[in-house]
């Protein structure tokens, strides 16, 4: 079983609210990632981190921020939620060089902004 956890599993929130999606892993992986995925669509990389105090923007990151204060924790924050943010958000981690088994994904947070 994957040792990467995302909370909440589902979230319905009003427009303009600030939200933080949590992601934690217990595998000691250095690299962590956030992806956004609409139903039936590809994964879009929005942020990634190579380790503590390292964060980089991906392809769709202009409206969210991340932090990496601890190895195991990589939260994603939306300062002001909009209906266009409605999507599934997937967190993943990997060993330093992608590792033998590549990426380990969490179960995702399905966000609905009304």
Minimum separation from the CB atom of position 56 to another protein (A):
10
Minimum separation from the CB atom of position 48 to another protein (A):
6
Q: Verify binding: residue 33, another protein, rule CB under 8 A.
A: yes
Calculate the alpha carbon distances from 108 to 20, 50, 91 in Å. 13, 20, 7
**42: CB partners within 8 A, 6+ apart:** none
Task: Output 106 or 113, the one with its CB closest to another protein.
Answer: 106
Asked whether the beta carbons of 103 and 33 are under 8 A apart, the reply is yes
Site size for another protein (CB under 8 A): 26
Asked whether the beta carbons of 48 and 56 are under 8 A apart, the reply is yes
> If DSSP codes are grouped into helix, strand and coil, which group holds residue 56?
strand
Minimum separation from the CB atom of position 80 to another protein (A):
26
Q: Verify binding: residue 75, another protein, rule CB under 8 A.
A: no
Q: Could you tell me whether strands 65-66 and 76-78 are parallel, antiparallel, or unpaired per DSSP bridges?
A: antiparallel
Q: Verify binding: residue 108, another protein, rule CB under 8 A.
A: yes
Q: Verify binding: residue 102, another protein, rule CB under 8 A.
A: yes
Binding site for another protein (CB under 8 A): 2, 33, 40-43, 45, 48, 58-59, 90, 92, 94, 97-108, 110
């Amino acid at each position: 079983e994957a040792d990467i956890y995302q909370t909440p599993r589902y979230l319905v929130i009003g427009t303009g609210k600030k939200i933080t999606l949590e992601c934690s892993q217990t595998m000691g992986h250095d690299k962590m990632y956030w992806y956004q995925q609409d139903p039936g669509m590809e994964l879009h990389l929005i942020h990634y981190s190579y380790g503590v105090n390292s964060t980089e923007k991906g392809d769709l990151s202009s409206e969210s921020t991340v932090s990496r204060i601890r190895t195991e924790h990589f939260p994603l924050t939306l300062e002001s939620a909009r209906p266009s943010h409605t999507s599934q958000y997937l967190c993943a981690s990997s060993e330093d060089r992608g590792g033998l088994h590549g990426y380990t994904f969490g179960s995702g947070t399905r966000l609905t902004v009304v």
